[in-house]
Amino acid sequence: MTQRFQHIAVLMGGTSAEREVSLSSGRECAKALRERYRVTEIDYSGDVAALVGVLTGPDAPEAVFNAMHGRHGEDGTVQGLLDLLHLPYSHSGVRASATAIDKAATRKLFELIGLRIPIGRVVTVAKAMTALPAPFVVKPVAEGSSVGVHIVREGDNRALPTDWSFGQEVLVEAYIPGRELTCAVIETADGTPQAYPSLEIRPRDAFYTYDSKYADGGSEHLVPAPIPAVIAREIQTAALVAHRALGCRGVSRSDFRYDDAVQPGAPAGRLYILETNTQPGMTPTSLMPEIAASAGIAFPALVAGLMEGARCDG
């Protein structure tokens, strides 16, 4: 691999609900990147002036590895700042980031390009519990890592948690029974996106919660997922279509529900795409490094590949 940069910054932290996940991702990536680069770690805590000072100061990095998650780090905000500073950065740019973090916008795009999505709608918090018949799922419109996700089943108390703090609009989707699958797309050195075998998640809890994602032993992962060949091909195709339609770069990870009940016209069951992540987690329990490792891509090579593909749109 040709090395373009000598000194890079790993940007992590942020002020979103995913701050701790980002710090964990950032530390892991910084450790791996030090095998090839001089690395400066930046824990962004909301002070934009201080961040710009580090990025443009006398020991400014040549490029940025973006390890931030959630609002400001994954929604196009920091990407726009780095474009203005003409600093190359890893992962997706402004357009893909801003669209993918907005679940409502992503649903509209997926529907437009013919990907199967669960029935759903965006409503006010006050109408969330009457928007669809149970079972259904209530999600914040712009959060990741299953933050704020609330499943309502028949007979459950029809009320959101009293500490709900994710805005006045929510996405309500029909609950899809079956299995939890995810598929990673990793771009090759020439920028060609390649979909890798899907991974099945079998969470310890009733669904794939924040704790299931990040607690040691919170879920069992099977890769490649033990699914019919026709579904394996469908999920890889859908992940590639989503990656390209959103305009992602570097990597993406699309999440799916697979209703494996045999139905008329769908003898292998039905696959539904839920969302696409432009900044997949890179923690010790995250899915992206595990998928890459199963394909023979070591973690240092994965993050170095993302770093060498860094660019800005400014």
Condensed to tens digits (0 to 9), the pLDDT of residues 103-135 reads 999 999 999 999 999 999 999 888 888 889 889
> What CATH number is attached to the domain comprising 112?
3.30.470.20
192 and 246 housed in the same domain: yes
> What CATH number is attached to the domain comprising 53?
3.40.50.20
157 is an active site residue:
no
Decide: helix, strand or coil at residue 304. helix
214 is an active site residue:
yes
Identify whether 69 is part of a domain: yes
Decide: helix, strand or coil at residue 70. coil
Structural domain count, the chain: 3
**Catalytic option among 145, 212, 254, 286:** 145
**Catalytic option among 89, 214, 258, 272:** 214
- Token reading at 193: 């996106």
Predicted local distance difference test score (pLDDT) of residue 217: 57
Q: Is 182 in contact with 287 (CB distance < 8 Å)? A: yes
137 and 203 housed in the same domain: no
**For 199-247, what is each residue's pLDDT tens digit?**
999 987 655 444 544 455 567 999 999 999 999 999 999 999 999 999 9
Handedness of CA 239, 244, 248, 251 (dihedral sign): positive
| 26 closest CA partner among 250, 306, 309 | 306
> Does the pLDDT at position 68 exceed 60?
yes
18 is an active site residue:
yes
CA distances from 254 to 10, 52, 86, 235, 248 (A): 24, 32, 29, 9, 11
109 and 216 housed in the same domain: yes
Domain that holds residue 226: 99-118+177-278
Query: Locate tokens 């997926």: which residue?
Result: 110
CA distances from 83 to 127, 158, 272 (A): 39, 44, 34
277 is an active site residue:
yes
Cα 212 from Cα 226, distance rounded (Å): 20
Identify whether 38 is part of a domain: yes
- Token reading at 233: 């091909």
Higher pLDDT, 314 or 256: 256
DSSP assigned state of 62: S
DSSP assigned state of 126: G
34 and 127 housed in the same domain: no
**Catalytic option among 254, 275, 286, 305:** 275
108 and 239 housed in the same domain: yes
Identify whether 210 is part of a domain: yes
**Catalytic option among 18, 28, 41, 173:** 18
Identify whether 294 is part of a domain: no
Query: Locate tokens 């990147």: which residue?
Result: 33
Identify whether 302 is part of a domain: no
109 and 221 housed in the same domain: yes
Q: Which range is least confidently modeled, 27-31, 158-162, 219-223?
A: 158-162
**Catalytic option among 253, 254, 272, 305:** 253
Identify whether 289 is part of a domain: no
77 and 219 housed in the same domain: no
Which residues are 171's β-sheet partners? Answer: 122, 139
33 and 85 housed in the same domain: yes
Identify whether 56 is part of a domain: yes
Identify whether 184 is part of a domain: yes
Predicted local distance difference test score (pLDDT) of residue 218: 66
pLDDT mean across residues, the chain: 90
13 and 146 housed in the same domain: no
114 and 201 housed in the same domain: yes
Cα 101 from Cα 265, distance rounded (Å): 33
181 and 270 housed in the same domain: yes
Predicted local distance difference test score (pLDDT) of residue 215: 52
207 and 274 housed in the same domain: yes
Q: Is 24 in contact with 75 (CB distance < 8 Å)? A: no
**Catalytic option among 41, 74, 143, 255:** 255
CA distances from 58 to 1, 49, 54 (A): 28, 15, 8
> Does the pLDDT at position 195 exceed 70?
yes
